[in-house]
């Protein structure tokens, strides 16, 4: 059944007023200083989104602890009270520019490097990450898991004090919480692994502790609803997890897919070989003359699944039928007509996009005003690879001139 929904009209998400139903999905910006403090460059980017009709800005993932810091260029952090005033200044300016803003809070788990965190990577089970290829991650003890849940709660409280309108718990893309949820990476047989309920336990505890500290403050989650591997998460199990999340008191769910080490599944599209050669630390492990030989091999391993567009919409529809809380869908949404059809068919309550806003920060305005019908992003994925060594930008399939 189809109901008329105007994507460009005001709406509410967990009590927060949104100027439109089009959300900027969390996107690491690499625009923090050495302490994880937001820079003027980041504030200006968010102001630009806000002025141009983005309904809600979800920040790039913010580290809840040094242990959970990611290896990408200049990650933002929310691991210390000393950062609250800087974030408050940013949220004030974003609000003045016209949009609400949620903080995405994250722990990288095994998808990081000792070089960055200063300690061994951590995970539910000691299984090496294919992408970061560190030594075997440390298997977290129960005491350490409780401490990480406390860190999530403290980060959520800091976000509230800093004027954010809500938080998003990052349970997707292979980071720590997704690592626990996925049967592919969680092989535990204690109370933190095994059944769906046990793999969910850490997320449930994080939510409970966050709620105890922040009270009536929006907490949403981002989940990966499928993985490439046969023993990974699939939409049926993601649906069960979504129901558990709703029961745990979450206020909304954003549906994504994939894990970073699967290559270009969460952000489907091209294989950015040229920028991988210049910006990817993994290439440094091999002599330069082997790089062209590596190309076909890597292209095969990291092949993007199909379809390239609207690839989480079917799962979003399944989840939406099973829960009462709002559902946001992201992944390859690129045209005004697709946005309208997703919303009008009730397959999601909100749509979110990442790469299109890197390419065109004023995209919502252009779609709303009919200047364009489609986003210009060509899904080349150069921005994703470039995030390892530089602040976020669009490359449009071209190496930057400075190379
Ligand atoms: C450069 C880059 C950085 C990203 N950083 C994050 C992040 O910090 N947190 C997150 O949940 N997803 C992150 N993503 C994934 C996107 O939010 C989104 O789920 C994915 O790209 C699919 O949406 P799209 O087709 O609209 O780009 C990132 C994607 C890109 C391209
Ligand atoms: S570099 Fe630009 S065109 Fe390429 S995927 Fe990223 S945003 Fe899209």
Could you tell me the distance, in angstroms and rounded to a whole number, from the CA of residue 363 to the centre of ligand 1?
A: 16
> Can you give the three-state secondary structure of the chain, one letter per residue?
CCCCCCCCCCEEECCEEECCCEEECCCCCCCECCCCCECHHHHHHHHHHHHCCCCEEECCCEECCCCCCCCCCCCEECCCHHHHHHHHHHHHHHHHHCCCEEEEEECCCCCCCHHHHCCCCEECCCCCCCCCCCCCCEECCHHHHHHHHHHHHHHHHHHHHCCCCEEEEEECECCHHHHHHCCCCCCCCCCCCCCHHHHHHHHHHHHHHHHHHHCCCCEEEEEECCCCCCCCCCHHHHHHHHHHHHHCCCCEEEEECCEHHHCCCCCCCCCCHHHHHHHCHHHHHCCHHHHHHHHHHHHHHCCCCCCCCCCCHHHHHHHHHHCCCCEEECCCCCEHHHHHHHHHCCCCCEEEECHHHHHCCCHHHHHHCCCCCECCCCCCCHHHHHCCCCCCCCCCCCCCCCC
Average pLDDT rounded to a whole number, residues 301-313: 93
Residue whose CA is at the smallest distance from ligand 2 atom 6: 383
Supply the pLDDT for residue 295: 80
Residue whose CA is at the smallest distance from ligand 1 atom 11: 26
Could you tell me the distance, in angstroms and rounded to a whole number, from the CA of residue 101 to the centre of ligand 2?
A: 23
Q: Is the dihedral of CA 286, 287, 292, 293 positive or negative?
A: negative
Of 94, 92, 100, 59, the C-alpha closest to 77 is 59
Read off φ and ψ for residue 194, nearest 5 degrees: 110, -105
Residue 170, pLDDT above cutoff 80: yes
Determine if ligand 2 sits within 6 Å of the CB of residue 400.
Answer: no
Supply the pLDDT for residue 287: 80
Residue 379 CA, closest ligand 2 atom number: 5
Q: Can you give the length of the chain in residues?
A: 403
Average pLDDT rounded to a whole number, residues 55-69: 98
Could you tell me the distance, in angstroms and rounded to a whole number, from the CA of residue 4 to the centre of ligand 2?
A: 31
Kindly list the distances between the CA atom of residue 258 and the CA atoms of 11, 23, 121, 131, 275, in Å, as whole numbers in the listed order.
Answer: 29, 20, 20, 13, 22
Residue whose CA is at the smallest distance from ligand 1 atom 7: 27
Could you tell me the distance, in angstroms and rounded to a whole number, from the CA of residue 77 to the centre of ligand 1?
A: 17
How does residue 402 score in pLDDT terms, banded at 50, 70 and 90? Answer: low
Of 201, 200, 260, 195, the C-alpha closest to 228 is 260
Could you tell me the distance, in angstroms and rounded to a whole number, from the CA of residue 236 to the centre of ligand 1?
A: 23
Pocket test for ligand 1, best of 267, 272, 348 (most atoms within 8 A of CB): 267
Determine if ligand 2 sits within 6 Å of the CB of residue 382.
Answer: yes
Residue whose CA is at the smallest distance from ligand 2 atom 8: 377
How does residue 403 score in pLDDT terms, banded at 50, 70 and 90? Answer: low
Residue-wise pLDDT for 232-283, tens only, equals: 999 999 999 999 999 999 999 999 999 998 889 999 999 998 888 888 887 7
Nearest ligand to residue 400 Cα = 2
Average pLDDT rounded to a whole number, residues 144-166: 98
Could you tell me the distance, in angstroms and rounded to a whole number, from the CA of residue 88 to the centre of ligand 2?
A: 30
Q: What is the pTM of this model?
A: 0.97
Residue-wise pLDDT for 93-138, tens only, equals: 999 999 999 999 999 999 999 999 999 999 999 999 988 888 899 9
Supply the pLDDT for residue 280: 80
Residue 285, pLDDT above cutoff 80: no
Determine if ligand 2 sits within 6 Å of the CB of residue 383.
Answer: yes
Supply the pLDDT for residue 154: 98
Q: Which two tokens stand for residue 304?
A: 């993007």
Could you tell me the distance, in angstroms and rounded to a whole number, from the CA of residue 142 to the centre of ligand 1?
A: 30
Protein residues whose CB sits closer than 6 Å to any atom of ligand 1:
25-28, 60-61, 104, 170, 172-173, 222, 256, 266-267, 330-333, 353-356, 383-384, 387, 392
Residues 6+ apart with CB under 8 A from 157: 210, 213, 214
Residue-wise pLDDT for 341-399, tens only, equals: 999 999 999 999 999 999 999 999 999 999 999 999 999 999 999 999 999 999 999 98
- Taking the domains of the chain in order of start, what are their residue ranges? 11-269+304-386
Nearest ligand to residue 399 Cα = 2
Q: Which residue has the higher pLDDT, 337 or 273?
A: 337
Supply the pLDDT for residue 296: 81
Pocket test for ligand 2, best of 27, 272, 354, 395 (most atoms within 8 A of CB): 395
Choosing from 61, 132, 175, 311, which is the catalytic residue? 175
Determine if ligand 2 sits within 6 Å of the CB of residue 395.
Answer: yes
Residue 297, pLDDT above cutoff 90: no
Pick the CATH number of 11-269+304-386 from 2.40.170.20, 3.40.50.720, 3.40.50.200, 3.20.20.70: 3.20.20.70
Within a 13 Å sphere around the CA of 269, how many CA atoms are in the beta-carbon half? 22
How high is the mean pLDDT of the chain?
A: 95
Whether residue 395 lies in the annotated active site: no
């Amino acid at each position: 059944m189809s109901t008329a929904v105007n994507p460009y009209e005001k709406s509410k998400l967990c009590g927060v007023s949104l100027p439109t139903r089009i959300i900027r999905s969390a996107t690491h910006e690499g625009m923090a200083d050495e302490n994880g403090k937001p820079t003027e460059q980041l504030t200006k980017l968010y102001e630009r989104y806000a002025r141009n009709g983005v309904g809600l800005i979800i920040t790039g993932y913010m580290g809840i602890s040094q242990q959970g810091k990611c290896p990408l260029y200049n990650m933002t952090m929310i691991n210390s009270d000393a950062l609250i005033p800087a974030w408050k200044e940013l949220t004030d300016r974003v609000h003045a520019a016209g949009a609400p803003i949620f903080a995405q809070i994250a722990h990288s788990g095994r998808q990081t490097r000792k070089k960055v965190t200063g300690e061994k990577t951590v995970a539910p089970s000691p299984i090496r990450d294919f992408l970061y290829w560190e030594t075997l991650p440390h298997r977290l003890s129960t005491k350490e898991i409780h401490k990480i849940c406390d860190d999530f709660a403290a980060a959520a409280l800091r976000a509230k004090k800093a004027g954010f309108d809500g938080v998003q718990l990052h349970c997707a893309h292979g980071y720590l919480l997704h690592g626990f949820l996925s049967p592919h990476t969680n092989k535990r047989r204690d109370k933190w692994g095994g059944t769906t309920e046990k793999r969910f336990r850490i997320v449930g505890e994080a939510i409970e502790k966050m709620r105890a500290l922040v009270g009536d403050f929006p907490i949403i989650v981002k989940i990966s609803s499928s993985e490439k591997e046969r023993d990974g998460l699939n939409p049926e199990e993601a649906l069960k997890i979504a129901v558990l999340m709703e029961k745990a008191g979450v206020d909304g769910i954003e549906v994504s897919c994939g894990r970073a080490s699967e290559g270009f599944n969460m952000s489907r599209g091209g294989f950015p070989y040229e920028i991988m050669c210049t910006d990817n630390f993994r290439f440094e492990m091999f002599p330069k003359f082997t790089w062209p030989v590596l190309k076909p091999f890597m292209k095969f391993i990291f092949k993007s699944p199909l379809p390239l567009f609207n690839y989480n919409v079917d799962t979003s529809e399944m989840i939406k039928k099973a829960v009462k809380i709002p559902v946001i869908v992201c992944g390859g949404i690129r045209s005004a007509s697709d946005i309208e059809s997703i919303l009008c068919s009730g397959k999601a309550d909100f749509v979110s996009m990442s790469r299109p806003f890197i390419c065109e920060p004023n995209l919502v305005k252009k779609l709303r005003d009919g200047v364009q019908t489609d986003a210009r992003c060509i899904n080349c994925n150069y921005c994703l690879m470039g995030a390892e060594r530089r602040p976020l930008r669009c490359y449009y399939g071209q190496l930057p001139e400075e190379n």
